[in-house]
Amino acid sequence: MGTLLAVIGRIGDKAGSLGALVSAMGCAMCFPAIASLGAAVGLGFLSQWEGLFINTLLPLFAWLALVINALAWLAHRQWHRSLLGMLGPAVLLLSIYPWFQYAWSTYATYAGIGLMLAVSIWDLIDPANRRCDEQCDLTAMENRRV
């Protein structure tokens, strides 16, 4: 079960981060800096589905990354990784819904997407390994005696 959660966590985290980034690239009115990056790499055609991206896909991918990172904690038990992994999607969701009326919400959105991407890259470079609790320590001690 732990291995399955680890695989789902690694893949789901990347899918959520990449999906949120591509969704933001399709919304030139809301996120001009990311949309210009998207247009530069050939994703300018996404602007015709701007409403779908900002209203449906961006929150969906942020929720996916948030839930997957929360579940990934069950696999690796590293609270600092899980907290950083959940902080980006949480800031992104807050910037879309309750903070949208404020002028600084765009900066919060960029920070949330940037943090999601940074944590995903960190997970690619240095994957999380399961940290043992007291039960794992007892099992390891018993195996040494044999």
- Does residue 16 contact residue 64 with C-beta atoms inside 8 Å? yes
pTM of the model: 0.68
* Cα–Cα distance, 111 to 56 (Å, whole number): 20
Reduced to 3 states (helix: H, G, I; strand: E, B; else coil), residue 132 is: coil
Per-residue pLDDT tens listing for the chain (146 residues): 556 666 676 677 677 777 877 777 777 777 777 778 788 888 778 778 878 887 888 888 889 888 888 887 777 677 777 788 889 999 999 988 888 788 888 889 889 988 988 888 887 787 666 555 555 555 555 555 55
- Does residue 81 contact residue 65 with C-beta atoms inside 8 Å? no
